[in-house]
Chain A
């Protein structure tokens, strides 16, 4: 009887890039629902626009590079990039803003560096930074969260869609009526105006720890993050590194001067901290590869977020922190190279 030849091992693979990417998308669902509840249906439109342009950009680049587009399109990585970008944007964002970010993320940050696996920078964060530079005013348009006593100006689905398409609000409304500062913005402005952190925290937009609505989204993001940890899609090293890197200096500063510094809980539940710790910084392509290296990478991101929030001119610093640490990855990988069993010297890696 005749048989086929094949190389060992004779076992199917236990893991799959597309399956892992799908898990990441599933893990974002609870937070997406919360996001829509608190900030309206804009996230859905942003997700749609970002996905369409990310996938189109990916297909075009694969075509331009003379490669078959199917494997790249079926690995869901472009959708994950689009989803992370959409989560970082305000719910009211004109489509061309989102499209610019998505296209830059996929075309420049990903494919011009060689496509999946070769990009040095986190594509979603690169796309976000381009938006931050090109359309800064659009990133300040956060509508007030739907929560209790806050004056929530509800935009209908149609009105939201109309804004996404035209950047125009219904005639009766203006931006001042519907938008609120983000908690981090409010904190930065407040502290700059010599208010104490406690006074800023007394504002109606503030919740138990971070901002109202925001902290609930953070809870659901953390839920998704734990799911990813449980499914071993991500490991603990980066999330713990990010959170420690941010919370240690935040706690220290808070203890030293509680008036001029919000507490660690505020940092944890505001802005993109949780999104970064579990979903953005954990992008394996642009992160360090060894467990110890990943912990250091996470710590660096956390510390940079704190520095930017505390001393920088931006309210949140996740995108810059991630991109800066992306640059440090080759050095981290080199320093944390595990010692091969049976070799002497080098660093032993027990992490």
Chain B
């Protein structure tokens, strides 16, 4: 068996957190039946929401495109099952913490009839550019949680010199185990996806990175790699330390190069895709199944029996949780995503979307007591994977000091939450940084708007002044030429003007 290699660079800081993944990995992935009604959000990816191309009353088939990509960055949305469109309306979505956003509501007919799609077993014969546009049509986005459209990420990568594809199976955040289970149950799909992506990118190196606390996933992946015997793909075992699975940190460990501030992994020759994304690419290209479902971890102390499920997009959290065995008691928080970076939603009536790698129900959290002043202990800086100084940043964030925030690298913060956990004064650092980033974007927008308005105003003043001076010169010229011609000429001109006016009136 091809053992994973462990020659890695260092990541700064990080935390060893209790994994809390045993409960959800004990049973195989549970298939959630298609519910009677699916609520499919139009905004499940980075970029503008997709544009509906079906009308209320239309019959749709599973896998049929129901909303098209709206802008250059975007993906189509497919019907997760067959049925009738009964609504195009605002419904609560997880992306907005349970606030409403446009969704297509499908009443399922229970038959789950599929529409015909093309399969490309022969993808190796396809030109990479064709393969890329085909991947775009599959509605595939990054399933690690960032939901950046995969095809566009690949196209972007083609513009720089990428040598290495990295499949991210690290899954370092506590509680989440969907990638782990996917690698255990469908390693061949992941590896198959890797080969498709390698062909699309035309790269000859691929690292599949898995955290050391997933021995079963590692051995299944190693077996799958043995089966295909592709020496270009190397399994890498990364240490179990959060957030080793963050994109830039993973690149730093695997290729020992730092992604430049404000840059992308492609700047150091790498492209990172989640293992789930790779499997989805395989599913679409080889099997002809667009992205209409995903594996997600249903866990937390508020869940009766934690498990990984595969559910269609549009199935609500309430339906999924009920199918797994329901809540243990009324939980206080429901989180989409993991405990470190997830989003709390206000209702479980929100549908599963492409970003949801975990649905976490938390009975309660220990009260952290009042926030005390920073005592400069520096523990936040010690655990920061980007080597920031959170204790300084929070100071400047409160003062809204834009210049200092830039100097101390606010934009480099990956919002991993490590500093929050170790802060003995219980300062909500990550939330403060998120707000400060938002504020900085607002300020930049405001500045740009003000700049535009100023330019418009100046241009207008300039134009008015120019027109005024032109009029004055013209008048002066006319006066001068009239004066030069003498009184008869003036009378002449006046007569002509009168005549013109008369002509115009007729």
Contacts and interface: CB of A to CB of B under 8 A. Distances in A.
Contact of A10 (B252, B258, B362, B379): B362
A3 B372 contact: no
A13 B332 contact: no
Nearest to A329: B376
Nearest to A287: B376
Contact of B387 (A14, A115, A294, A341): A341
Contacts of A1: 318, 327, 330, 334, 347-348
Residue from A1, A117, A339, A343 with most neighbouring chain B CB atoms (10 Å)? A1
Interface of A is mostly: loop
Task: From B342, B370, B377, name the one whose CB has the most chain A CB atoms within 10 angstroms.
Answer: B377
A341 B252 CA distance: 9
B220 interface: no
B12 interface: yes
A23 to B, nearest CB: 11
Interface in B39-94: none
Contacts of A115: 373
Interface string B327-344: 100111111010111111
A349 B382 CA distance: 11
A112 interface: no
B255 interface: no
Nearest to A234: B377
A6 B344 contact: yes
Given A5-B344, A117-B376, A285-B375, A342 B259 contact: yes
B248 interface: yes
A338 interface: yes
Given A284-B375, A342-B258, A342-B261, A337 B343 contact: no
Contacts of B420: 9, 11, 13
A340 B13 CA distance: 12
A118 interface: yes
B417 A8 contact: yes
A340 B248 CA distance: 13
Contacts of B378: 284, 289-291, 294
B365 interface: yes
Given A4-B333, A9-B340, A290 B430 contact: no
B110 interface: no
A9 B408 CA distance: 22
A170 interface: no
Interface residues of B, number: 71
A121 to B, nearest CB: 13
A2 B422 CA distance: 30
Most chain B C-beta atoms within 10 Å of own C-beta, residue among A2, A12, A13, A115? A13
A116 B372 contact: yes
B251 to A, nearest CB: 10
B323 interface: no
B397 interface: no
Contacts of B258: 341-342
A71 interface: yes
B386 interface: yes
B431 to A, nearest CB: 4
Interface string A6-45: 1111111111110110000000000000000000000000
A185 interface: no
Interface string B235-263: 00000000000001000100000111111
Given A11-B339, A340-B386, A17 B261 contact: no
Contacts of B262: 342
Contacts of B428: 7
A64 B483 CA distance: 86
B374 interface: yes
B310 interface: no
A289 B376 contact: yes
Contact of A342 (B98, B260, B421): B260
Nearest to A3: B334
A3 to B, nearest CB: 4
Contacts of A16: 369, 424, 426
Interface of B: 12, 17, 97-98, 174, 248, 252, 258-263, 318, 327, 330-335, 337, 339-348, 360, 362, 365-366, 368-370, 372-379, 381-382, 385-389, 391, 408-409, 412, 415, 417, 420-426, 428, 430-431, 434
13 contacts: A8-B341, A9-B430, A10-B335, A11-B339, A11-B365, A11-B417, A15-B379, A16-B369, A287-B376, A340-B386, A340-B387, A341-B386, A343-B409
A-B residue pairs, 7 tightest by C-beta: A117-B373, A9-B417, A12-B366, A7-B431, A15-B424, A342-B261, A289-B378
